[in-house]
C-alpha cells in the first residue's frame, strides 16, 4: 500500500509509510528531518558546472515553514474548539433544573400541562394554535384578541383529550402571519451528540440545540430553598 503524500512528497498528515496513524506533532518532526536530509543531498549532488539557484532552496525552506505554521494553527484551533465545547457543557450543565424558554415547532405530551406563548408581531383579533399528532389528528386552541408581543397559553392534555406522544405545533394570527411559539419548561439534562453538538433535553419539548433557547428563568424558588437548607 502506498501512503498518500503532500506537496513535498512526504506522507500526508496522520499516516506513515506503513499506513499507521501518526500524531501530528511527530509527523511534522519527521517531515522536517526528511526535508533537511533531502535538501543537503540535493546541495551535495548538484552539478558543479551548473549549480542550482540558491533562491530555490530558500523557497523550499519557506514552503516547509508555512506548512508547519498551518499544521500548528490547525492543532491550536482543534484544541481551542474542544476546550470551548467542554466549557459549554459545563455551563449548560449547571443550568439543569432551571426553567428556560425555547422556540419550538413541536411538543411532547406526557400528561403534564405545558406553559407556552405565541410571539405576536402585531395585534391579532383571534390567534389559532394547532397541535398535530404523529397520526395526523389535529387539535385547535383559540386565543382571544391580543396586542403585539407574547400571548401566554397553557396546553392541558387532560382537558384537550390529548394522548401521550409527540406533536407538531403552529400558530396563525388573524392577519395570516405565523408567529413563533415558545415553551417555558424545566431543563432536564445536557449531552453531547455523536457529531459533538450540544443537545438539551427540555421537559415537554424533547431534545433541542442551544440556539433555540430564548431566555433563562432560573431555578424554582422551592428548589433553591432546598439547596440552601442542605
Half-sphere exposure of 5 (CA within 13 A, CB side): 8
Where is average pLDDT lowest: 20-29, 71-80, 186-195, 221-230? 221-230
Q: How far apart are CA 148 and CA 121, in angstroms?
A: 5
CB contact burial 61-74 (16+ within 10 A = b; e otherwise)? eeebeebeeebeee
Q: Which distant-in-sequence residues (6+ apart) come within 8 Å of 204 by Cβ?
A: 107, 108, 109, 110, 112, 114, 183, 185
Q: How far apart are CA 62 and CA 59, in angstroms?
A: 5
**Regarding the domain delimited by 99-229, which CATH topology (the fold level of the hierarchy) does it fall under?**
Immunoglobulin-like (2.60.40)
**How much is the average pLDDT of 96-114?**
94
> Is pLDDT above 60 for 15?
no
> Is pLDDT above 90 for 196?
no
What is the reported pLDDT for 161? Answer: 94
What is the reported pLDDT for 70? Answer: 72
> Is pLDDT above 70 for 41?
yes
Residue of 186, 174, 172 whose CA lies nearest to 222: 186
**Residue 188 near residue 93 (C-beta atoms within 8 A):** no
pLDDT band at 71 (very low <50, low <70, confident <90, very high): confident
> Is pLDDT above 50 for 10?
no
> Is pLDDT above 50 for 226?
no
For the chain, the average pLDDT equals 79
> Is pLDDT above 90 for 118?
yes
Q: Where are the domains of the chain?
A: 24-82, 99-229
What is the reported pLDDT for 61? Answer: 65
Express each pLDDT in 144-153 by its tens digit.
Answer: 999 999 999 9
Amino acid at each position: 500500500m502506498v501512503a498518500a503524500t503532500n506537496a513535498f512528497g512526504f506522507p500526508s498528515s496522520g499516516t506513515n509509510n506503513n499506513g499507521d496513524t501518526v500524531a501530528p506533532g511527530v509527523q511534522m518532526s519527521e517531515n522536517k528531518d526528511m526535508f533537511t536530509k533531502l535538501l543537503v543531498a540535493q546541495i551535495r549532488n548538484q552539478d558543479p558546472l551548473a549549480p542550482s539557484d540558491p533562491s530555490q532552496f530558500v523557497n523550499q525552506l519557506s514552503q516547509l515553514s508555512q506548512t508547519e505554521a498551518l499544521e500548528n494553527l490547525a492543532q491550536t484551533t482543534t484544541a481551542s474548539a474542544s476546550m470551548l465545547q467542554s466549557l459549554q457543557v459545563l455551563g449548560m450543565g449547571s443550568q439543569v433544573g432551571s426553567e428556560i424558554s425555547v422556540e419550538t415547532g413541536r411538543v411532547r405530551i406526557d400528561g403534564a400541562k405545558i406553559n407556552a406563548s405565541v410571539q405576536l408581531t402585531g395585534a391579532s383579533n383571534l390567534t389559532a394554535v394547532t397541535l398535530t399528532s404523529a397520526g395526523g389528528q389535529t387539535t385547535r386552541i383559540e386565543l382571544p384578541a391580543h396586542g403585539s408581543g407574547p400571548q401566554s397559553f397553557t396546553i392541558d392534555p387532560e382537558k384537550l383529550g390529548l394522548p401521550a406522544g409527540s406533536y407538531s405545533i403552529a400558530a396563525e394570527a388573524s392577519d395570516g402571519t405565523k408567529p413563533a411559539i415558545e415553551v417555558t419548561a424545566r431543563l432536564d439534562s445536557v449531552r453531547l451528540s455523536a457529531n459533538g453538538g450540544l443537545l438539551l433535553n427540555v421537559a415537554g419539548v424533547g431534545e433541542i440545540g442551544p440556539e433555540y433557547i430564548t431566555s433563562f428563568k432560573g431555578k424554582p424558588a422551592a428548589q433553591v430553598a432546598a439547596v440552601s437548607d442542605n
